[in-house]
Structure 1
Amino acid sequence: MAGKITLSDLNKTLSEMNVQSLEGVKIEGDIEIELDAGAGGVGPLFAYYFGQEAAKIAMQLMNFAKAVGYPVENLLQPVAVASAIAPAPKDLAAAAAAVPAFKVASALASAKFSVGIDKTWRTPIQEVTLGATKANGGSRGHVVKLGGEKAMPFFPDAAMPHAPKVTMDVFDMPIGMAKAVKMHYEDVINSPGEWAKKAVKKFGADMVTVHLISTDPLLKDTSAQDAVKTVEEVLQAVDVPICIGGSGNPNKDPIVLSKAAEVAAGERCLIASANLNMDWEKIGKACVDNGHVCLAWTQLEINSQKELNRKLMKVAGVPRDSIVMDPTTAALAYGLDFAYSNMERIRLGALKGDEELTFPMSSGTTNAWGVRESWMVRSPNKDDSDWGDRMLRGPIWEILTGYSLAMAGVDIFMMMHPLAVAYVHEITQSLMGRIDAKTPDTAAWLKMGV
């Protein structure tokens, strides 16, 4: 049985052998062309293109024969084979162009959009009440409710029972602030009571956070007995629920916060905060004994948050409806991404049934002002681009920090700049469908009645 070889293989073999021409060599062979069987005969368009391809094959064979030395010109003369492929007849070319490459639909395919429901979200977030009215043994004009969600924020799976809230910072002594913030508080910076009033009546704060930073041994080292007088002053100045914070000193805070819890007994304040690096048990028991809510603060670590929550419940005896988490808000570099991811993991874990995480979350959104880009006049790098007006940069940074973390599940924001407060309120309320968001005049947005 004769072997088979393609023309390209033969040409390649001769080239590799550096054969320029062949003399006295006879090449015999058959060309077989297979066509699919079909009925109805061969159409003129097919016949034309088939003939064109056959002619191309013949031309290639003649070129090969010429390359090996055969006088192909003698063959062309008697049969009058053209040296080039003739163009298609006009009528056949037009017919080919009229055939579309694919069929174009006359209309879009019908489809129905439906919102999917995540069936793994089976556990609701614990509802926590801050503040106590006279009917409940306190003196607040109203209460603030957090939590109760059954889905991620603003998702269609389940309506949010309570809108995110804002508590504005008040300090018991003057502190250094960015110019964009300080300009709003210069007239009240020496009076915590008046400061609290301005935050509530002018800036629309839902709550007020009293920071007893003067108790820090590295500052004034104010005694717990003297520090709690500021708490009493603020309680008398406003009737909204309040949050009471210390200085952050791990040795002094348990003493100060325990005393503050006693002075504000029955008001159901948010005591900020207990963490694993201080006497969390003392703070937790002070909350239980005086009817307050404990803020459990950890540093961007979900397992530490679970551990602290577990200890507050099982060791200090804090009820589930008296715990709010603060997983830490880091607003610099990629810290915001880290904070968001951590909070989102906590909320998703809670909705899926992790009983140690099913609590409302708080964000120290004021930390946005710790980023140098939010308050510096210009970049310290002379080759850097212009950062723009710092009076705009700072509030924008705080707004975006709050808005981003609202998407992760934060229920209450601790904030400072009045415009940032207004925008976070408006954004979250509009996402809930409670208000129609306005389009502000971006050229004068800092005024906005503040």
Structure 2
Amino acid sequence: MRGVVVSQERRVREERREAEARKVVADLLKLLSTADRLEFEDVVIDARELTIEFIPPSAPTGPTYLKLTVEPVGVPQPPGGKLEFILEVTPTGFRLLTPPVPGAVPITVPPIAAVPKLVEFIKVEYKYPSLEFKGSIAEVKIGATKAEGGTRSTVIKIGGDNKPPIFRFLGYVVNRPKVALDVFDTTIPLPRAVRDAYGDVLSNPYEWAKKCINVVKADLISFHLVSTDPGIKDVSPQEAAKEVEQMLQTIDIPFIVGGCGNPVKDLETFAKVAEVAANERLVLASVTFGMNIPKYVEVVKKFNHVALALIFMDVTQAKAICRRLMDLGLSKDRIILDPTTAALGYGTEYSFSAAERIRLAALRGDEDLQVPMSCAATNAWAAREAWMKLDAWGPREWRGPLWEAVTAMTMLLAGADLFMMMHPLAASIVKSVTEFMEKQTVRDVIEKEVSEYYSWVTKRY
């Protein structure tokens, strides 16, 4: 008897809770029927079935609707056993249009209007931004022909622009950026990818230089006299001058002469090199604040060469060293500035920022900075990602050259006019981009390639 009474009490409590729930739902439905705007938060829909149907807008700019069909649980079943909602999608949420009130007349969604067919495209003239730059970069000539007192077969020109790089809408590049390939006068440790690319010529700098010219088509050579370093071979300035003299006889294009990085030894070496190569307009790389700058300028002026000034990613340093060289008598067309290039992933953004600020300041009228810029993209190989053997990073023979090419391309966007590079593939990539910059129009480059695809059915590859 006790169990029967408990069971009846439990059933009465359940019926009471169910009646209260139905009243809550009825009150909510009544409230929804009188509301203009609803905002829901933490809503839970208890239903056996929920269907959401997308109703496309009646016009391109018309509203979008969603139709919600719900088969509820624990509430009085409407006719058909389901409730229907029409929601209008607004930028801020949803707006309920048809609350599910028993007996209410459902709203009629406007019919879908036919989308008008496209008649023609509206032609709008695009106007390039109006930009004016009152400054321009000096044009520097590297090398001298026989008529100019030298022995080179051609002359390399860099600089001369009066606009930022890639701003084709302001005009075309005056002199495309040039690519120099590095050659070292003694054997030094090199990444595997570089050794494989050059093979046996690495032991002979003159054959190495010829391969760079004949096979890779380098614009010029960067001949580094690293053997003069007191910590390596400590080759005398006289012997270094003989190496340069032999290089002059081996190749007939202009080239850069690099030192060992020791400011005292480099100055002694440059003095001898400049003398044996008088009037050849070689680039003597590099002069720094740690060097005897007046003596360096004296050598450059006396034997008619070009100065390359090296600073370390600092606009103030760049301005100071260029001003110093000019005050000592060098004209802007005899100066190249190297703001230092950090490897991709190892500070490239700092190099880019410094170079970009230098170039923009020059174009805005700062005469101290109106000289071409050089980029030592070879520094990319200092990054372990360029040469380290790790399968997850991909093959080194591709990864390394791409690392160097991207480093150079980054500086190209900042305004570099001259690139010192090492891997043939990287140099070829960058040179192809600079050659594209030289074209008058894009069609000059792609017209031939596009025409070949017109006959794609019969074309054989």
| TM-score scaled by length of structure 2 | 0.71
2:146 is matched with 134
1:218 aligns with 2:196: no
Q: 2:226 corresponds to which letter in structure 1?
A: I
- Are residue 56 (structure 1) and residue 34 (structure 2) matched? yes
How far 1:195 moved relative to its partner?
A: 1.5
1:365 aligns with 2:377: yes
Q: Does 1:335 align with 2:341?
A: no
Match of 2:429 in 1: 423
Contact 1:326-1:363 within 8 A present in 2 as well: yes
C-alpha deviations, 1:132-181, integer Å up to 9, x for none?
A: 00010000000000111111112121211111111111111111111110
2-side partners of 1:257 and 1:325: how far apart?
18
1:169 alignment partner, SS class:
strand
Residue 302 (structure 1) aligned with residue 318 (structure 2): no
Q: Which residue of 2 is the match for residue 390 of structure 1?
A: 396
What do you get for the CA RMSD once the two structures are aligned? 2.5
CA distances 1:246-303 after superposition (whole Å, capped 9, x unpaired): 0001221111112111111100011101111222222122111111110011011110
- The alpha carbon displacement at 1:191 in A equals 2.1
1:146 alignment partner AA: I
Question: What do residues 203-245 of structure 1 show as CA deviations (whole Å, max 9, x unaligned)?
Answer: 1011111111111110111110111111011111111001111
* Mapped contact 2:172–2:437 kept (Cα < 8 A): no
Tell me the residue number matched to 1:250: 263
Task: Note if contact 1:429-1:435 (Cα within 8 Å) is conserved in structure 2.
Answer: no
Query: TM-score, length-normalised on structure 1?
Result: 0.73
How many residues end up aligned between the 2 structures?
349
The one-letter code sitting in structure 2 at the alignment partner of 1:422 is: S
How far apart, in 1, do the equivalents of 2:280 and 2:137 lie?
A: 23
Work out whether 1:148 is the aligned partner of 2:148: no
Unaligned runs of 5+ in 1: 1-51, 58-83, 379-384, 440-450
1:54/1:300 CA distance change after superposition, 3 Å: closer
Equivalent-residue separation in structure 1 for 2:103 and 2:334 (angstroms) = 88
Residue identity matched to 1:407? L
1:412 aligns with 2:390: no
Query: Aligned with 1:98: secondary structure?
Result: coil
Aligned to 2:80: none
Corresponding letter in the other structure for 1:397: W
CA contact (8 A) 1:312 1:318 kept: yes
Matched, 1:208 2:221: yes
Q: Measure how far apart 1:56 and its partner are.
A: 3.4
Quick check: 2:344–2:403 contact (8 Å CA) kept in 1?
A: no
Question: 1:192, 1:233 within 8 Å by CA — same for their partners in 2?
Answer: no
Q: Match of 2:285?
A: 272
For 1:246 and 1:321, the matched residues in 2 are separated by 22
**Secondary structure of 1:187's partner?**
helix
Matched ranges for 1:82-161 at <5 A: 85=101, 88-89=104-105, 93-94=107-108, 97-98=109-110, 111-119=124-132, 121-155=133-167, 156-161=169-174
Distance 2:415 2:445 in 1: 20
The unaligned stretches of length 5 or more in structure 2 are 1-29, 36-99, 451-461
SS of equivalent residue, structure 2 residue 368: coil
Encode CA deviations 1:172-209: one digit per residue, 9 max, x unaligned: 11111111101233322232222111111111011111
Q: Does the Cα contact within 8 Å between 1:271 and 1:292 map onto a contact in 2?
A: yes
Call closer, same or farther: CA 1:192–1:110 in 2, change over 3 Å: closer
1:285 aligns to 2:298 (yes or no): yes
Q: Write 1 or 2 for the structure with the bigger share of strand.
A: 2
Structure 2 equivalent of residue 402 of structure 1: 408
- After superposition, the Cα gap between the structure-2 partners of 1:361 and 1:86, relative to the gap in structure 1 and judged at 3 Å, is same
Compare CA radii of gyration and give the structure with the larger one: 1
Q: Does 1:238 align with 2:238?
A: no
Q: 1:377 corresponds to which residue?
A: 389
Q: CA deviation at 1:87?
A: 5.2
Matched, 1:175 2:188: yes
- The range that moved more, 401-410 or 188-197, is 188-197
Aligned to 2:334: 322
Q: Residue 54 of structure 1: CA displacement?
A: 12
CA deviations on 1:3-52 (whole Å, 9 max, x unpaired) are xxxxxxxxxxxxxxxxxxxxxxxxxxxxxxxxxxxxxxxxxxxxxxxxx9
Partners of 1:184 and 1:408 in 2: CA distance: 29
User: Percent identity between the aligned chains?
Assistant: 41
